[in-house]
């Protein structure tokens, strides 16, 4: 079984013998922050639904969409993954939420 880690900058690395190795099958993540409103609209979710799925307050989504704040670290990485494979990410988040 491969052990993968999601880095804060959106990269995915494989862990082997305590070292990190880039996973080459994923294209590099853009350096620009994801357009949160566009991601949410493509997923056909309200701000409340999107916040609930991400596990953040709706105010956070509003602040990101209005440009008052920018997603950082793990949130930025998660949004980058949502941009690539929203169905897979939301399914994984739903499974994790039901187990926790």
CA distance linking residue 89 with residue 18, whole number of Å: 26
Q: Which domain holds residue 41?
A: 4-99
User: Is the confidence at residue 6, as pLDDT, over 50?
Assistant: yes
Give the pLDDT confidence of 52-84 residue by residue, as tens digits: 999 999 999 999 999 889 898 889 889 989 998
Tell if the pTM clears 0.75, that is, is over it: no
Q: Which of 5, 10, 6 is closest to 77 using CA atoms?
A: 10
Domain tally for the chain? Answer: 1
Helices (runs of H) and strands (runs of E) counted in the chain: 5, 3
The residue count for the chain: 100
User: CB-hemisphere CA count at 13 Å for 11?
Assistant: 12
Per-residue model confidence (pLDDT) at position 65:
92
Query: Tell me, what CATH number does 38's domain have?
Result: 1.10.260.40
CA distance linking residue 6 with residue 13, whole number of Å: 7
> Tokens 């013998």, residue?
17
Per-residue model confidence (pLDDT) at position 57:
97
């Amino acid at each position: 079984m491969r052990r993968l880690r999601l880095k804060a900058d959106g990269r995915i690395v494989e862990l082997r013998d305590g070292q990190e190795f880039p996973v080459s099958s994923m294209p590099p993540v853009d350096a620009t922050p994801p357009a949160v409103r566009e991601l949410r609209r493509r997923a056909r979710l309200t701000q409340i639904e999107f916040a609930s799925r991400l596990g953040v307050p709706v105010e956070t989504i509003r602040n990101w969409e209005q440009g008052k704040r920018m997603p950082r670290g793990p949130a930025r990485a998660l949004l980058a993954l949502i941009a690539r494979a929203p169905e897979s990410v939301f399914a994984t988040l739903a499974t994790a939420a039901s187990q926790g």
